[in-house]
Structure 1
Amino acid sequence: MGNLKPFVVIVDDDESVCRAIKRLLRSVGIAAETFASGDAFLNVLSSIPSYRPDCVILDVQMPGLNGLEVQRRLSGSGTPVVFITAHDNISVREQAFAGGAVAYILKPFNDDLFIRTVRAALEGGQAS
């Protein structure tokens, strides 16, 4: 295995959620960076060609661009997307999976399940 750690981006408008997920991922050897909005993440993505996360964790409901819109803009990039949300909505869940999401997890979530899901996404597997 190489020296490069997997690199995950977390996009959630709740700062405490971002901090908790980043800490959890770092505890298992996964590097993470957080963004408070989809706009901020997409701006960095478009302005730095070498900036390519191995996986993106998206909140569904955020001010500005919601998670589904961010997912649409990532379409074709091959970057796996894991959705996290406190508001389960069948229509939104169906849109997420139709757009290629590898997982849709409800908050609050079990840490072990979350780590397994992110690892599966990083390895190219499908989780649910």
Structure 2
Amino acid sequence: MSAQLPLHGCMVLIAEDDFYLAEDMADTLREAGAEIIGPAGVAESALALMGDRRPDLAVLDINLGSETSFEIGRRLLGDGVPVLFATGYDASIIPSDLSAAAYLSKPVSMSNLVASMTRLRDQRNRA
């Protein structure tokens, strides 16, 4: 049965500073078959988690406390890891060097989160 789940076998890094949203995302992505790295509420924690395990996909809030997640996004994209920015900000805030990242506006629909992550996984697998 688990092989039929859309994100079966994917390791997903979550960097989100809203504890409740991070837990909702983690629970939803687990139910879709993903293994979760995190969630990390600050950039330093996310970077440390990336040093321990390489994610297949990542969902990042742009603002992580007093920092942004742009450097995390750069590192992940540089390593070939698809990134989804989930944020309340307009997509225009994302620097041009991160244009390969996907974008999802908050408030996040959990079904849209799974669909977006599945699309990213499929695009990565086709590349």
Short-chain TM bin: 0.7 to 0.9
Distance in 2, matches of 1:89 and 1:78, equals 21
Distance in 2, matches of 1:116 and 1:75, equals 20
CA RMSD between the two structures = 2.0
The unaligned stretches of length 5 or more in structure 1 are: none
Partner of 2:50: 45
Distance in 2, matches of 1:74 and 1:29, equals 21
Question: How far did 1:115 drift?
Answer: 1.0
Distance in 1, matches of 2:15 and 2:122, equals 20
Partner of 2:69: 67
Aligned residue pair count: 117
Question: How far did 1:100 drift?
Answer: 4.4
Secondary structure at 2:63 match in 1: coil
The unaligned stretches of length 5 or more in structure 2 are: none
Secondary structure at 2:123 match in 1: coil
Q: 1:62 to 1:78 in 2, by over 3 A?
A: same
Match of 2:32 among 7, 28, 51: 28
| Equivalent position amino acid for 1:103 in 2 | A
Match of 2:83 among 66, 81, 84: 81
Partner of 2:105: 106
- TM, length-normalised to structure 1: 0.79
- TM, length-normalised to structure 2: 0.80
Distance in 1, matches of 2:119 and 2:16, equals 21
Which ranges of 4 or more aligned residues in structure 1 deviate by more than 3 Å?
Answer: none
Distance in 1, matches of 2:57 and 2:99, equals 13
Structure with the higher helix share, 1 or 2: 2
Q: Is the 8 A contact 2:41 2:65 kept in 1?
A: no
Deviations 1:50-100 (A, max 9, x none): x1111011001122431212212334200100000012252x13x2x6424
1:123 matches 2:122: yes
Distance in 2, matches of 1:41 and 1:100, equals 21
